[in-house]
Amino acid sequence: MVSSVVWMIVGMGIVTYLPRMIPLVFLEKLKLPSFLQGVLKNVPYAILGALIFPGVLFIQEELWYGCLGAVVAFLIAYTGVNVIFVVIGSILVLTGVSIYF
C-alpha cells in the first residue's frame, strides 16, 4: 500500500514536471515576436482575474457585498499602493460593513 502511494506521487511529479521542462529545453533559443511576448506576459493577470471574479460574486449570499469589496480594492489599487495594502484595505472596509449592517 505504501509503495503504491509513493510510486503514484513520483508518477504525478513526473507528469507535471515534463510539460514544464520540455518547452524550456527545446524552445530555449527560440525568439518570440514582441506581440506574442506581450500577450504571454498578461496571461498570469488573466488567470488571476478568472480565479478571483467568481469569489467576488459568491463571497456571501448578497451580491453587493462582494461588489463593494471589489470596488474598494480597485480604488485602493488605482492609487498605486502595494498589493498588501489593497487587500488589507478591502478587508477592513468589508469588516466594517459586516459589523454595522
Q: Is the pLDDT of residue 2 over 90?
A: no
Does residue 80 lie within any of the structural domains? yes
Does residue 8 lie within any of the structural domains? no
Provide the number of structural domains found in the chain: 1
Does residue 82 lie within any of the structural domains? yes
Does residue 89 lie within any of the structural domains? yes
pLDDT attached to residue 21: 93
Does residue 1 lie within any of the structural domains? no
12-67 pLDDT, tens digit per residue, is 999 999 999 998 898 888 888 999 999 989 999 889 889 989 988 888 888 899 99
Does residue 86 lie within any of the structural domains? yes
Q: Residue 74: give the domain boundaries.
A: 46-100
Q: Is the pLDDT of residue 1 over 80?
A: no
List phi, psi (to 5°) of 31.
-100, 115
61-98 pLDDT, tens digit per residue, is 888 999 999 999 999 999 999 999 999 999 999 999 99
Residues with Cβ < 8 Å from 90, sequence gap 6 or more?
Answer: 69, 70, 72, 73, 76
